């Protein structure tokens, strides 16, 4: 099929360049803020933009010829340093939420000690981040990326109109998301049918959250972020009505994030203080168990919803129908 696209519709290469430049500029801005201050917002935003840059490089890899240092592996190493610091900030948020409850004196004292310990760990992690931003790997990545943005080099596929690429890109991301093995975490597959056991005890929830399950759920969350990024990216470009899809994906991200935050908090307490939380911090243990149950229940509801064919059809049809409508508009001028 031949597509007639107006001058404002970019080629894949032009759109890739514009997207990467947008994220790179944001990274340099937040980098300066992070070097000058300890603000968690600067850290959070820089980490988001680094992730977006990684997604963009991966998503446009078949159309670009990037410098050797500008690759997902190098970006991932930087992101891990940022993530270590970000996790400490998230732990503080979790502890602050516990402070709002009426706790016995000894558990209040534990919270104060925990927060002091977090502050010391954050200082060390912040120094590690600043060291990373001053090392040769990061400087080379930044220098070569800035040079590429001034003189981009493309592969032949970059000349294709971006409009032709949209359905392939989105449907590929959607398939990776909907077929992810994490959707089976906590469930059973019997004769091709998914069985959803009702788990009502926090101890049984902990049994489900093996390291393999936690890693799988975390990876699904990353897939959700990639899909959300792609959907929003093309939606912003062409005005697609993807609001419902974006809201659905963000709801999944939030639920998986709450599960991850609770696991992180439990693990940090055990690793740093070598405590049996149930015995040493009984009220905090109950609050954390309640958080786990509520998050897991929401996760089960999402699993049941996304196991349904009609949910998947809604996603696919929204993408295809939006693209067909847009293509018709550009071909006919209406």
DSSP, residue by residue, 243-256: HHHHHHHHHHHHHH
Say which residue the tokens 């933009």 belong to.
49
pLDDT tier, 191 (very low <50, low <70, confident <90, very high otherwise):
low
Structure confidence at residue 2 (pLDDT): 42
Domain boundaries, the chain: 1-160, 161-334
Query: Which element (helix H / strand E) includes 98?
Result: helix 72-99
CATH 1.40.20.10 fits 1-160, yes or no: yes
Structure confidence at residue 9 (pLDDT): 55
Tell me how far apart the alpha carbons of residues 280 and 292 are, in angstroms, rounded to a whole number. Answer: 19
Indicate if the pLDDT at residue 55 is higher than 60. Answer: yes
Tabulate helix, strand, coil % of the chain (nearest 5).
80, 5, 20
Q: Counting Cβ atoms within 10 Å, is residue 288 exposed (0-12), middle (13-18) or buried (19+)?
A: buried
pLDDT tier, 6 (very low <50, low <70, confident <90, very high otherwise):
very low
For 267-282, how does the pLDDT look when each residue is reduced to its tens digit (9 = 90+)?
Answer: 999 999 998 899 999 9
Other Cβ atoms less than 10 A from the Cβ of 258: the count is: 18
Nearest by Cα to 327 from 17, 58, 3: 3
What's the rounded mean pLDDT across residues 87-98? 92
Q: Two tokens at 225?
A: 């972020």
Nearest by Cα to 154 from 287, 34, 60, 272: 60
Q: What's the whole-model pTM score? A: 0.86
Strand partners, 202: none
Indicate if the pLDDT at residue 177 is higher than 80. Answer: yes
pLDDT tier, 8 (very low <50, low <70, confident <90, very high otherwise):
low
């Amino acid at each position: 099929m031949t597509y007639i696209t107006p001058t404002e519709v970019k080629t894949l290469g032009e759109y890739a360049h514009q997207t990467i430049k947008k994220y790179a500029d944001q990274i340099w801005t937040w980098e300066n803020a992070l070097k000058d201050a300890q603000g968690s917002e600067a850290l959070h935003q820089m980490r988001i933009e680094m992730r977006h840059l990684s997604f963009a490089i991966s998503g446009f890899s078949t159309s670009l010829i990037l410098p050797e240092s500008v690759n997902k592996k190098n970006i991932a190493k930087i992101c891990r340093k940022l993530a270590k610091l970000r996790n400490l900030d998230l732990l503080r948020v979790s502890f602050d939420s516990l402070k709002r409850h009426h706790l016995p004196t000894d558990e209040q004292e534990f919270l104060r000690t925990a927060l002091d310990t977090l502050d010391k760990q954050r200082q060390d992690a912040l120094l590690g981040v600043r060291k990373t931003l001053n090392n040769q790997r990061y400087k080379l990545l930044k220098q070569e990326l800035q040079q590429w943005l001034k003189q981009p080099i493309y592969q032949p596929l970059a000349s294709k109109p971006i409009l032709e690429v949209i359905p392939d890109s989105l449907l590929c991301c959607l398939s990776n998301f909907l077929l992810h093995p994490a959707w089976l975490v906590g469930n059973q597959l019997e004769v091709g049918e998914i069985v959803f056991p009702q788990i009502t005890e926090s101890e049984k929830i902990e049994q489900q959250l093996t390291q393999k399950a936690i890693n799988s759920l975390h990876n699904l969350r990353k897939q959700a972020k990639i899909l959300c990024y792609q959907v929003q990216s093309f939606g912003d470009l062409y005005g697609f009505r993807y609001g419902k899809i974006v809201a659905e994906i963000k709801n999944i991200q939030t639920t998986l994030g709450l599960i991850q935050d609770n696991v992180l908090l439990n693990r940090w307490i055990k690793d740093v203080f070598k405590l049996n939380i149930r015995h040493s911090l009984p009220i905090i243990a109950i609050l954390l168990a309640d958080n786990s149950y509520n998050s897991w229940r929401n996760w089960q509801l999402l699993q049941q919803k996304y196991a349904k064919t009609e949910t998947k059809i809604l996603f696919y049809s929204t993408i295809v129908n939006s693209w067909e409508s847009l293509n018709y508009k550009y071909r006919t001028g209406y």
